[in-house]
Every structure is written in structure tokens, then in C-alpha cells.
Structure 1
Amino acid sequence: MSTTPKTTSYLKRMPCTRTAEDDPYLVVLEVKDTKGEPAKHAVIDAWHANGTGGYYFFSWTLRGKMTTDASGRLELLTVRPGGYAGRASHIHIRIYPAESRRHRQMTSQMYMCDGNDPVHMSSDIANKWRRRPDGNMVTCWATGAPEDGKAYHGLPKLPEEDVDMVDAINRWNAKLQEQGVTKKIMSVGRHQVKITAY
């Protein structure tokens, strides 16, 4: 049985407007509550910087809302965000549960660390007065070997046995091509977020 989410999204004005400069990035997000139940049909509000760490303050570029499927999952196609002064690479998320009587709203960040090493979050100014949130790190993989032979952001290559992720990559690369984008997805990630259950 395939575990591919039925809900797929990409951030507004993305990826077409950003792929000339930035690399397409796909993340599969799963939202569960503290009892282990999926957060069905939760709305995820997401925003982040471009590949060089710049935000679009006067447009909706790299910002958008998505909804999880009945299993609490979604696929998000965007670009890999860059870090900037005092901040590690991250995506901001705000989760609005569909069942507000059962789940509490949550605001958080998902970190993308080179080599999947949380040490890159250590110097993040947001973590200066709190314990480093290693559980907020997205586990990432490179989708192939780059032309220069170096590992993409120090990431391991995605195992071919991960059929669901390979299918998702192929599906999204086809959508990119339909939109006239020649770049393909360079890295993928998986992450699970837990929200408080009442």
C-alpha cells in the first residue's frame, strides 16, 4: 500500500518564480497529535527565505497555506531555504488544526541542516536562550550525485528502495517540466510534527 499523501501543495508563486536561482526542494510533512493520532485536514501556513537567505516582504513569494490529508500528511514543493545572519536554514510553520476542540494550534520551525547534522542549529540566535531543538530538524536526502562529485549540502543519497519518495519526486519533476522549469528536485526531506491533544 502506498503511503503517498493525497494532498500536494506548493508555496504561492513557487516554484516557477524561484527556480532560476534556487534549487527545488520537496518535503513530506506528517502532523500527529501527542496521542499518536493524525491531525486530519489541518491547515499549515508556511513561509521561508530564498536560497540566499532573503525574504519577500512585499509579496506572497515563498509563502502559502496547505491542508493535510486524512492521514495528517502533505507534500510541499518549494526551494531549499538559505540561512542568513544568525539563523540556520529553516521553514516557519503555523498549524491550524481542523478539530480545534481536540488539538491546540502550534507555531514552529523546521530546520534543514547540512549533512543532517543538528550542530548547524547551535549558533542560531533563536536557540540562544533555549535548548537546541534537534527534533525540529528535517531528515533530508540528496536526489542524485551533483555534477562536481560533492554531496549536495553534505546529504546522503536517497535510497532507491524509498519507492514512495521516488514516486513523489518523479511526479513533482513532471509538474515542474509542465510549467517550463528545467531544474529538477535536488533534495527531499521528511518531518513529523506533534501538536498537543486535549
Structure 2
Amino acid sequence: MGEEEVEVAAGAFDSGANPIHVLVVDDSFVDRKIVEKLLKKISFKVTSVDSGKKAMEVLGFSEEKVDKTCINDQKIDLILTDYCMPEMNGYDLLMAVKEHNNMKSIPVVIMSSEYNPQRISRCLADGAEDFLSKPLQPEGLQKLKSYVRAIPPGPKTAAKRKVIPDFIPESNKVERRPFHSGVAVA
């Protein structure tokens, strides 16, 4: 893959946290650059390609060979793809991602300048998180963060609660008291 085929732009980092890595797929150079710029403004890391086939390569597989050790080695958090592209359209890319066990958890958002209710319904029914209309607006791109699956935090530690001395039984035996959500029973 040559340098001109894949363009990478790192967004600003929010307080040391890893930025959300978005794979932007659009055959239009101008549209790719606009989306890339908008995403960088709201602190996304962006990898952009000009076709569904190149997106498959970035994700770690092509039609000829699937290397399970390389699947999503770039840790793509979200795919934002145009619907209308030659060779492999956005719907075909969506289906390839959703049919692959190692990638089906990656959220896919389809974008298009054409309003076609049947197309939109089909994409959403088959696993797309959203269908955005072009030209994209910064407000619409903000909601992309909500589609990325949060990494579950480490094991939770129990919070310590203060015990009011009046409620400690004199017998030193453990007493179970009923607990009702938001209401303490004495």
C-alpha cells in the first residue's frame, strides 16, 4: 500500500486518553478531506482510504486471504463509510464487517448524499449504527462517540460506607437490615 492510498491524521488527544480511531472510507478525495478535518476538530484519530477494498486491507483482510492475526491490528474503533463507491459500496463493506467474527463488534456508520429510504432501512436493519446525510455537519459527527463501545473498566472496588455507631448492634453479631433503593431502614 503506497502512502497516497492511505492517509492518516491524528486528532488532538483529550486529557491523555486514547482518541477514538475512525476509518473513513470515501471515493471522493474532497469529501474524505472534509470529514477528516471535521473529525480531527473533535479529537478523533482518522485513517482514510478511497475504497471498500482498501478499507478491508486496513482492517487486516482482503478477498484473497484472511490473516486472523492481523485483523484490526490498527485498533479501528468505528468505520464511517460512504454508500456509493465503485467496486465495493458501503453496504458491501458493512456486510463484510458484520459477517466476520473478529470485526462484527466494530460500529459502522453509513453516509450518503442520496436520500433513499429503502437503502437506509436496509443498512440499519443489517447492522449499521446510523445513516448520515451528506454534507456532514459537526453536530452529527459528535454523536459518533456514542456508537463506540466503551472498554469496561477494571474490577470495581466496593465503596466504604460509614457506619453510624447507633446502628451497630450491642451483641456484636452481624445483622442484616433490609435495603430499599435510596431509603435507609433503621
By the TM > 0.5 criterion, same fold? Answer: no
| Higher normalized helix content (fraction of residues) | 2
Name which one, 1 or 2, has greater alpha-carbon Rg: 2
| Higher normalized strand content (fraction of residues) | 1
Q: TM-score, normalised by structure 2?
A: 0.30
